[in-house]
Structure 1
Amino acid sequence: MAAQAETLYQTRVADAWVDYNGHMNDAEYARVFSLAVEALMDRIGLDAAGRREHGYTLYTLETHLCYCREAHRGEPLRVALSLLDSDAKRLHVFFTLHDAAGNTLATSEQMLMGIDVASGRPAGFPEAVAAAIALLPRAGDDWPSAAGRRIAIRRG
């Protein structure tokens, strides 16, 4: 993980998230990262009030989730954010899910698109949102090693 990442969201493994294998179900990792996107939206001024005020929201265009370690019932979880890239209407973000000891449990690389709610079409970030985005922790040239990966069966 890039040194510039910082904690964005914290929670615990809920009882309902634990599956028949005795650890957090794979779908629940996606839930935690989705909640981290909501925390990001709050951070950049797109909480419920900001979405109403600006008539603007974020959609997830793509996500790449990598599972690294198991999480267990009641275990504290922390999600760190690093902004890999952005333009006038998109955010390329990298989330890292950690346990209490700082071990990486999972990562999620995502492309988020700014959307004008009235038209349902992509649109540039409102000025106040763009200013808040400028303050997000950036990876710079120090991208996490899991960023930009592709799924493949490695041969030879």
Structure 2
Amino acid sequence: MSAPHRSSLLTVKPEWIDHNGHLNMAYYNVLFDNAADEFFATFGIDLNYIQSTGFSTFSAEFHVCYVREVHEGNQVYVTSQLIDFDEKRFHFFQELYHEDGWLSATGEGLGLHVELAGPKVAPMPPETHNKISAVFEQHRHLPRPARAGRAIEIKRK
């Protein structure tokens, strides 16, 4: 995985369209979250992991930048890149693309590894840490996405 992970194709559903005729902002998060599930599975964090270990992931923070509208029926995919991680957290960046290749939105997140019995933030088991480390080793050589680390502000001239 020397390139960002690419999700399967996802379809913009009719019930996700707002009164302006485009994808409602909440459903960008649904698309990013569905793609994150696919990405996290590459380092072993999936439903089986949750059920067998009692660990899961929670979102601590997620930022979306809207670049270009998508509409009902559009086919889209999401790329996901691991930016950084430690024993309890992972920082990732996602880009939502129309199937024709143009960028629709970006998402940046901080995920937490959580022991569900608490729930509390907890270190990853060694096997999981090793899997995410292998993904990071491949992704750390990728260029840092230009929009990563953005802050919300009104820029003054």
TM-score > 0.5, shorter chain as reference: yes
Gapped regions of structure 1 (runs ≥ 5): none
Which residue in the other structure is 2:6 paired with? 7
SS of equivalent residue, structure 2 residue 80 = strand
Q: 1:9 touches 1:80 (CA, 8 Å); kept in 2?
A: no
Which residue in the other structure is 2:40 paired with? 41
Which residue in the other structure is 1:153 paired with? 154
Which residue in the other structure is 2:139 paired with? 138
Which one is further off, 71-80 or 30-39?
30-39
SS of equivalent residue, structure 1 residue 73 = coil
Task: Percent identity, please.
Answer: 30
TM-score (norm 1): 0.91
Which one is further off, 36-45 or 81-90?
36-45
Residue 107 of structure 1 and its aligned partner are, at CA, apart by 0.4
TM-score (norm 2): 0.90
Alignment partner of 1:118 is 2:117 = yes
Alignment partner of 1:73 is 2:38 = no
Which one is further off, 125-134 or 93-102?
125-134
Output the CA distance in 1 between the equivalents of 2:5 and 2:118.
34
SS of equivalent residue, structure 1 residue 88 = coil
Output the CA distance in 2 between the equivalents of 1:77 and 1:26.
15
Q: 1:54 touches 1:126 (CA, 8 Å); kept in 2?
A: no
Q: 1:58 touches 1:114 (CA, 8 Å); kept in 2?
A: yes
Output the CA distance in 2 between the equivalents of 1:140 and 1:109.
18
Gapped regions of structure 2 (runs ≥ 5): none
Which digits, 9 at most, give the CA deviation of each residue in 1:86-142, with x for residues without a partner? 111111000100001111100000000000111211111122222221232514462
Q: 1:83 touches 1:94 (CA, 8 Å); kept in 2?
A: yes
Which residue in the other structure is 1:106 paired with? 105
User: In structure 2, do the counterparts of structure 1 residues 129 and 10 end up closer, same or farther at CA, with 3 Å as the change threshold?
Assistant: farther
User: In structure 2, do the counterparts of structure 1 residues 110 and 9 end up closer, same or farther at CA, with 3 Å as the change threshold?
Assistant: farther
Which one is further off, 117-126 or 62-71?
117-126
Q: 2:17 touches 2:71 (CA, 8 Å); kept in 1?
A: yes
Which residue in the other structure is 2:24 paired with? 25
Which one is further off, 62-71 or 123-132?
123-132
Output the CA distance in 2 between the equivalents of 1:9 and 1:113.
24
Which residue in the other structure is 1:16 paired with? 15
Residue 10 of structure 1 and its aligned partner are, at CA, apart by 2.7
Residue 9 of structure 1 and its aligned partner are, at CA, apart by 4.1
